Amino acid sequence: MIDALRHVTHRCWVLSLGLRTLPLVAAVVLSACSSPPKGYGVSTRNLPPAATMIADPAQADTTTTAEKTRDTYLDLIRQMQTQGLWFASLAHIDAFELSYGTSPDAQLMRADALRNAGKMDEAIAIYKQMTNGPQAARAYRGLGLAAGARQDFSGAAQFFAQAQRRNPTDASILSDLAYAHMRAGQLEAAWVPIMQAAQLTPRDPRVQSNLALFYYAQGDSARAEQVLNAMANADDSTRDALRRTAQQIRARSGGAERPSDIGRSGTGSSNAIRPVTAAENGLPTSHATGALLVRRTVGASPSALQLTSEMPATHAVPRAQSLAGNATLGPVNSVEESTP
C-alpha cells in the first residue's frame, strides 16, 4: 500500500515538473523557428522574402561600403582630371579597374585622359566603342574634341551635333558645337547653339568667351567687349587671342554678317540685338546679378534676342596660353574638363 502511494506521488511530481518546464521548452522552440537557419547546406526555400534577400546584415553593410568606396575612387579620378593630372589619372584608372573591374565611367575617363595625353588613336577607339550605349552623348563629344584637336572642325561639328541630339540641354556640348561651326566658317549655324548655351549657363566663363568670339567674328567688337568686360580677368592677352581667332574665322567664312543680320527676318532697327538692363526686364538688380538676361524684341523673330551680361567678377578667364594648341578646341570651352 505504501509502495503504491509512493509510485503515485512520484508520477505527480514528474507531471508537475513537466508542466513547469513546458513554457521554457516552447520558448526555445519558437526562438529557433524565428531565427534564420545558419550553417552549411541550409535551404532558404522556406525562409520569408526578407530573410532570403539578406541572411546576414553584415553582408549588406559590406556591399554598401564597397559601392561607396568605388564611387569615391571614381570621384577622386574625376577631380584629378579636372586639375589636368591626365597621366596620374591613367595610373589610378588602372588601379581602379584592378580592384573593381571596368565601367563605362572609367572607360570614358580613360579615353579623355588618353586624348589629353596625345594618344588620339587610342582615345578615339574607346569613344567609338561607347557610341551605342548610355554614355553615347559623352562618347560623341569626345570624338568631336579629338577631331577639333586635329583641326578638323567640320568633322567636329558633326560629332557634336550627334552628342547634342542625345543630350540637348548640355551647355558644354552646345558651346563646343557653336565653336566648331565658327571655326569651320559657318557663323549662321553657330548662332542658335551659342545662344542656347549662353541662356542655359549664363555664368559659365567658357560659354561667355565663345559668345564674345561669336560677336568678334561678326565684326561687332562693341558687343564682344561688353561680354568680356562683365567677366573677371578678361585681360588683354585673352582679348587678343579671341580677336586673332575671330580674324581666322572671318577669313574662312569670306566675311561675317553683322549680328542683326543673323537669326532674324526683316530689316528694321528695332529687330537688332541690343543690351538691356535688369530694370527693363522687370527684375531687381540683386536677382539679375550673375545672370545673362534675355528677352525678345517686340516684333522680332523668335531668335532675335536682347542680351545683357551682368555677371559678378568672380569667374577667371583662362590665359592666352590655354587658348592655343591642338589640345584645345575652343578659346575657353570645356575641352580641359572632359567629365560631365
Name the pLDDT band for 166 (thresholds 50, 70, 90): very high
**Structural domain range at position 92:** 63-168
- Please tell me the predicted confidence (pLDDT) of residue 65: 74
Asked if the structure places residue 198 within a domain, the reply is no
| DSSP code of residue 292 | E
Q: Are residues 214 and 338 in the same domain?
A: yes
Instruction: Determine the pLDDT at residue 10.
Output: 53
190 inside domain: no
> Which residue would you say has higher pLDDT here, 65 or 219?
219
**pLDDT tens per residue, range 234-247:** 889 999 999 999 99
Q: Is residue 202 a part of any domain in this protein?
A: no
Residue 158 has pLDDT above 80, yes or no: yes
Residue (of 143, 200, 149) closest to 171 by Cα position: 200
Cell numbers of 110, please? Answer: 580613360
Average pLDDT of the residues in 158-187: 98
pLDDT beyond 70 at 148: yes
Contact 71, 101 (CB under 8 A): no
Print burial letters for 51-68: b (CB count within 10 Å at least 16), e (below 16).
eeeeeeeeeeeeeeeeee
- Whether 229 is covered by a domain: the verdict is yes
Q: Tell me which of 168, 196, 228 is where a domain ends.
A: 168
Claim to verify: residue 220 and residue 281 sit in the same structural domain: yes
Among 79-83, 185-189, 198-202, 283-287, which is the least confidently predicted range? 283-287
Quote the pLDDT of residue 6. 57
Q: What share of the chain is helix, strand, coil (3-state, %, to 5)?
A: 60, 5, 35
Find, among 68, 320, 337, 319, the residue nearest to 201 by Cα.
337
Percent of the chain clearing pLDDT 90 (strictly above): 51
Do residue 299 and residue 245 come from a single domain?
Answer: yes
Last residue of a domain, one of 168, 194, 220: 168
Question: Could you tell me if 223 and 145 lie in one domain?
Answer: no
User: pLDDT tens, 317-335?
Assistant: 333 333 333 334 555 444 4
pLDDT of residue 254: 76
Average of per-residue pLDDT across 54-78: 72
Residues 225 and 96 in one domain: no
**Same domain for 222 and 317?**
yes
CB atoms within 10 A of CB 222: 9
**Alpha-carbon distance 136 to 309, whole Å?**
33
Do 213 and 149 have their domain in common?
no
In this structure, the answer to whether residues 231 and 336 fall within a common structural domain is yes
CA atoms within 13 A on the CB side of 26: 6
The verdict on residue 266 lying in a domain is yes
CATH number, domain with residue 82 = 1.25.40.10
Q: Are residues 215 and 309 in the same domain?
A: yes
- Alpha carbons 9 and 5: distance in angstroms, whole number: 6
Do 164 and 225 fall within a single domain? Answer: no
Provide the β-strand partners of residue 294: 307
CA distance 290 to 310: 5
Residues 213 and 340 in one domain: yes
User: CA 109, CA 113: separation in Å to the nearest integer?
Assistant: 6
pLDDT digits (tens, 9 = 90+) for 245-304: 999 999 988 764 554 456 544 333 333 333 333 333 333 333 332 333 333 333 333 333
Answer for the pair 160, 141: CB distance below 8 angstroms, yes or no.
yes
Q: Which residue has the cell 565658327?
A: 182
Distance separating alpha carbons of residues 253 and 180, to the nearest angstrom: 13
Distance, in Å, from the CA atom of 247 to the CA atom of 254, rounded to the nearest integer, reads 10
Same domain, yes or no: 253 and 133: no
Q: If we measure between CA atoms, which residue out of 336, 329, 339, 334 comes closest to residue 144?
A: 329
Nearest to 236 by CA among 336, 259, 244: 244
CA distance 304 to 272: 7
Q: Between the CA atoms of 297, 301, 306 and 307, what dihedral angle is there, to the nearest 10 degrees? A: 160
* Mean pLDDT across the chain: 71
Would 334 be classed as within a structural domain?
A: yes
pLDDT of residue 240: 95
As a whole number, mean pLDDT of residues 214-239 equals 93
Answer yes or no: pTM beyond 0.85.
Answer: no
How many angstroms separate the CA atoms of 268 and 245, rounded?
A: 31
- Poorest-pLDDT segment among 66-80, 89-103, 136-150: 66-80
For the chain, the domain total comes to 2
| Residue 179 pLDDT class (50, 70, 90 cuts) | very high
Residue 289 counted as domain residue: yes
Please report whether residue 40 resides in a domain.
no
Predicted confidence at residue 68, as pLDDT, reads 80
Pick from 28-42, 58-72, 152-166, 308-322: least confident: 308-322
